[in-house]
Amino acid sequence: MSRRAFTLIELLVVIAVIAVLIAILLPSLGAARKTAKATTCLANLRGIGQALTLYNNDHNEYVIPSYTMTGTDGNNVPLEGWGPILDRDGYLPSSDAQRGNALVCPEAKDVAGVAASGQTGNNIDNPRGWMQWPAVRTGSSFGTTLIEDRGFNQILRVAYWINALNPIGGSTLVEPDLHYTGSVGYGPGSNGLSIKHTRLSAFVRPYQLIAVADGLYAGRQRDTRIGAANSRIGYRHPGLGSGGANADKLAGSANVVFADGHADGIDGAVFPRGLGGSNSPDEVREENAYGKPSLYANPEKAVGAP
C-alpha cells in the first residue's frame, strides 16, 4: 500500500491562504475591539448620567459642583472634584484603577493629562488621558491630596470632562448658570458675583446640554477642537463622519452624556465651541444652535439666537 502525503507546494498554499485570511480578519477584529470599548464608554457615561440625576434629586435639583473652592485663585485649598463626590456619597463607586473604573473610558490613554503647568498643552494625547482627584492647586501646578475631614479618603482616577465654569483670578466676569455646572464658591469675580450651585431649572434644553464628555478636568469650552492648545476634550473613538474634504472627521469623536441622562457620540469636526479666543461669535452661535449639542445652559441667552 502506498501512502499519500501533502506536498511542500500544497503546504505552502495552505499557509498562504491562512495568512490572507488573518490579514483580512485582523482589521475587523481591531475595529470590533474599538467598537466594544466605545460601547463600554457609553455605558460608563450613562451610569454617570444616572448618578448625576440621583444627586440632583437628593439635593433639591441643585447640580453637582465641578469642585468646591474658596476665593478666586484656589491656591492651597483642596478641591474634591465631582468624581470623588459621587464616589463618597455612594452614587458611583470608583477607584484609582485604569481598568474597570466607572470614571475611566476604556480607550483612555494611561497618561497624566494635566501637566505641572495645570494645562494639557499641545499634546493631543493629554486630554485623552486622566487626572487624579481630590487635587490641590499650588501656583499653576496641581497635585493630589486627601480631604479626610470631609470624607474624601482615597485618590481617584477620572478620565471624563465636566462642562463647567471654572475661572481663576478676580478679573473674571461671573455669569450664573452659564454651563452645566461650575466651581462653587469661586468669587467674587469682577462683577462682585460668586459661583453658586446651578439649578436644573436653568437648563432650557437638557437633552441638548452637554454635561460630561470624554476628556479630563473641566472648562476651556472655547478650545474643544482637536489639536487646540490646552483643550480638555478627549477624542478617543473613531470619527463618526466619512472624512472627505473635512479631514478633522477622521481624527475621532467624543462620547458624551447630556443633562437629561442620555449618551451619544459627537464628531470632532462638529463638537461645539464656546465664545472666547479667536473663535468667531457667528460660528459659535451656529455650533450651539437649536437642535444641536450645546455647551450652554441657555444658548440663546449666552450666544444669541442663530
For the segment 216-239, the average pLDDT, to the nearest whole number, is 92
Residue 275 corresponds to which amino acid? L
CB atoms within 10 A of CB 292: 14
Q: Give the chain's domain count.
A: 1
Per-residue pLDDT at 249 exceeds 50: no
Residue 175 lies in a domain: yes
Residue 157 lies in a domain: yes
Residue 116 lies in a domain: yes
pLDDT range class, residue 35, cuts 50, 70, 90: confident
At 32 the pLDDT is 63
- Range of the structural domain that residue 253 is part of: 42-303
On whether the CB atoms of residues 239 and 222 are closer than 8 A, the answer is no
Residue 32 lies in a domain: no
pTM, to two decimals:
0.88
For the segment 20-32, the average pLDDT, to the nearest whole number, is 65
Residue 253 lies in a domain: yes
On whether the CB atoms of residues 115 and 59 are closer than 8 A, the answer is no
Which contacts qualify for 12-21: CB closer than 8 Å, 24 or more apart? none
Specify which residues 162 forms β-bridges with. Answer: 212, 218
Closest CA to 145 of 67, 45, 230: 67
CA 64 centroid distance within chain: 16
Residue 254 lies in a domain: yes
* Range name among 123-127, 159-163, 242-246 with the lowest pLDDT average: 242-246
For the segment 135-155, the average pLDDT, to the nearest whole number, is 90
At 227 the pLDDT is 83
Collapse the DSSP code of 291 into the 3-class scheme (helix H, G, I; strand E, B; otherwise coil) and give the result: coil
Residue 114 lies in a domain: yes
At 79 the pLDDT is 94
The residue whose grid cell reads 498643552 is 121
Residue 295 lies in a domain: yes
Could you give the dihedral angle defined by the CA atoms of residues 191, 195, 198 and 202, in that order, rounded to the nearest 10 degrees? 10
